[in-house]
């Protein structure tokens, strides 16, 4: 049984992949208002303008505004 050949290696500049697109799909698109956050209740990523803060479990958490159900996402399984 031969080991599979390693197809990636860490380059001198610290990068491992050459074909992987840089960045994150959740990176801000310019200004502060363009970034996304996940809802604490449903987990769906939404623009910050569609979220509100609510005190849950003793801390301020971001949740869908006005609610997850009205935003098109059900809560729970």
Summarize pLDDT for 9-67 with one digit per residue, the tens: 777 777 776 666 666 666 655 555 567 889 999 988 888 888 999 998 899 999 998 88
**Which residue in 24, 45, 26, 33 sits closest to 62, CA to CA?**
45
Model confidence, pTM: 0.51
DSSP character at residue 65: S
Question: Does residue 25 form part of some domain?
Answer: no
Q: Which domain holds residue 44?
A: 33-77
Question: Does residue 15 form part of some domain?
Answer: no
The rounded distance, in Å, linking the Cα atoms of 68 and 55 is 16
Q: At 74, is the pLDDT very low, low, confident or very high (cuts 50, 70, 90)? A: very low
Question: Does residue 12 form part of some domain?
Answer: no
Total domains in the chain come to 1
Return the pLDDT at 55. Answer: 93
Question: Does residue 70 form part of some domain?
Answer: yes
């Amino acid at each position: 049984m031969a080991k599979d050949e390693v197809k990636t290696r860490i380059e001198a500049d610290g990068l491992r992949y050459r074909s992987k697109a840089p960045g994150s799909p959740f990176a801000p698109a310019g200004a502060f208002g363009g970034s996304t956050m996940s809802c604490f209740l449903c987990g769906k990523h939404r623009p910050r303008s569609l979220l509100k803060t609510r005190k849950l479990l003793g801390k301020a958490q971001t949740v869908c505004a006005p609610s997850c159900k009205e935003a098109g996402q059900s809560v729970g399984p």
